[in-house]
């Protein structure tokens, strides 16, 4: 595809474009990889089979974007009644809810995942959970199930669970088989931490995917915002005199996330399109100053960007080709 595009630009517009050298990575996919690095270091995220297949050519990961999962709405099962009548083997098997309490993120996520599934199988369970929502003065919503394709599914599951906290607490206390699923206040604190920490990434992810015409000039701005958020989180954790074990676990995962994001941020130096789109965008004239670049550096970048535009893209500055006889 890039080869054909390069040939088309050369023949039609006399533009020499090297597709491999100017490969622009999908920012939504970069965010997905960064959050996956965070969650996997918390030992709560399993990479999907699709993600592993995409990563065969690159030992670390692939730059090919995955399909959207539409997880901004309901879970992947939606309101399909066919998924409400699942086998009673799961719903009545006490061992399915026998979760070892290791007081870490893995246990918390496993509890929420199990609750979100158990409360949405069979019509009896669904109606029972809705009754607890009404008793807690909450909108009768179903928990959202997690799935491995996109991290946003995990975020949406946690966010919904946090909203349904009172109903979930009552529901897990309603039957003895749910005893191992009961959440302590400490565990709910961990859920709230994950939701608040991941929220800026969800906003960035939504911003990137919410338009049919994404602006390349926004890429650096989003990167800077995410790095600022990570730096603030790191500083806040480093400033604590006593750090609980679960926050130490989060601290390590944040460092892994920062490293992953930095890896792809560094790759924006290679295709000049990132720099040029930011420097030449009329609405981002002050961005470089706010980002801490010196005046001399900004002037150098701007001059080089203008020269590249004039030499490679501006048709008015290009000598017309001789007509072929």
Separation of first and last alpha carbons in the chain:
31
pLDDT at position 13: 77
Residue-level length of the chain: 325
CA-to-CA distance for 170 and 115, rounded, in angstroms?
A: 12
Q: Is the pLDDT of residue 178 over 60?
A: yes
Question: For the segment 206-226, what is each residue's pLDDT rounded down to a tens digit?
Answer: 888 766 666 777 787 888 899
Average pLDDT over residues 93-118: 81
Show the tokens assigned to 151.
């991290």
Crossing angle between the packed helical segments 245-266 and 218-238, to the nearest 10 degrees: 150
Show the tokens assigned to 298.
């900004």
Give 129-132's long-range contacts (Cβ < 8 A, gap of 24+): 129/167, 129/171, 132/167, 132/168, 132/170, 132/171, 132/174
| CA atoms within 13 Å, Cβ hemisphere of 125 | 23
Cβ distance 261 to 14 under 8 Å?
A: no
Model confidence band, residue 92 (pLDDT cutoffs 50, 70, 90): low
> How big is the CA angle at 3 (ends 1 and 61), to the nearest 5 degrees?
60
In the block, tokens 């595809």 appear at: 1
Average pLDDT over residues 18-40: 82
Between the CA of residue 285 and those of 42, 149, 227, 290, 299, what are the distances in Å? 40, 38, 20, 10, 11
pLDDT, averaged across the chain = 77
Q: Which residues contact 146 (CB under 8 A, 6 or more apart)?
A: 75, 109, 112, 113, 116, 153, 154, 157
Q: Which of 150, 158, 140 is nearest to 76 (CA)?
A: 150
CA-to-CA distance for 216 and 276, rounded, in angstroms?
A: 9
Question: For the segment 221-279, what is each residue's pLDDT rounded down to a tens digit?
Answer: 888 899 999 999 999 999 998 988 899 999 999 999 999 999 988 887 766 667 777 77
Alpha helices (runs of H) in the chain, residue ranges in sequence order: 2-13, 27-41, 49-54, 88-92, 105-118, 123-135, 151-163, 165-172, 185-209, 218-238, 245-266, 272-279, 287-290, 295-312
Question: For the segment 288-308, what is each residue's pLDDT rounded down to a tens digit?
Answer: 777 777 888 888 878 887 887
Show the tokens assigned to 314.
């501006």
pLDDT at position 103: 75
Cβ distance 246 to 105 under 8 Å?
A: yes
Percent of the chain with pLDDT over 70: 71
> How big is the CA angle at 47 (ends 44 and 49), to the nearest 5 degrees?
145
Cβ distance 231 to 257 under 8 Å?
A: no
- How would you label 30-64 residue by residue, b for 16+ Cβ within 10 Å and e otherwise? bbbbbbbbbbbbbebbebbeebeebbeeeeebbbe
């Amino acid at each position: 595809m890039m080869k054909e595009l390069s040939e088309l630009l050369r023949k039609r517009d006399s533009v020499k474009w090297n597709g491999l050298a100017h490969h622009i990575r999908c920012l939504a996919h970069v965010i997905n990889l960064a959050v996956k690095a965070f969650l996997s270091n918390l030992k709560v995220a399993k990479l999907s089979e699709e993600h592993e297949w995409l990563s065969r050519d690159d030992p670390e990961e692939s730059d090919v974007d995955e399909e959207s999962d539409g997880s901004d709405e309901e879970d992947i099962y939606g309101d399909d009644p066919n998924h409400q009548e699942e086998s009673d083997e799961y719903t009545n098997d006490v061992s399915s809810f026998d979760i070892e309490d290791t007081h870490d993120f893995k246990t918390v996520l496993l509890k929420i995942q199990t609750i979100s599934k158990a409360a949405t199988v069979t019509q009896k369970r669904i109606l029972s959970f809705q009754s607890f929502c009404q008793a807690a003065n909450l909108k009768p919503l179903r928990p959202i199930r997690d799935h491995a394709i996109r991290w946003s599914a995990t975020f949406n599951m946690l966010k919904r669970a946090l909203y349904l906290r009172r109903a979930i607490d009552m529901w897990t206390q309603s039957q003895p088989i749910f005893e191992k699923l009961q959440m302590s206040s400490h565990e709910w604190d961990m859920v709230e931490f994950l939701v608040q920490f991941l929220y800026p990434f969800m906003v960035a992810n939504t911003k990137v995917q919410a338009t049919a015409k994404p602006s390349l000039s926004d890429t650096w701005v989003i990167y800077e915002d995410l790095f600022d958020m990570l730096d603030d989180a790191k500083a806040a954790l480093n400033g604590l005199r006593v750090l609980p074990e679960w926050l130490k676990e989060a601290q390590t995962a944040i460092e892994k996330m920062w490293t992953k994001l930095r890896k792809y941020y560094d790759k924006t130096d290679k295709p000049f399109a990132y720099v040029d789109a930011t420097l030449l965008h009329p609405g981002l004239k002050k961005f470089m100053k706010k980002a801490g670049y010196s005046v001399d550096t900004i002037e150098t970048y701007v001059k080089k960007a203008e020269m590249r535009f004039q030499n490679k893209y501006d048709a008015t500055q290009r000598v017309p080709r001789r007509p072929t006889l």
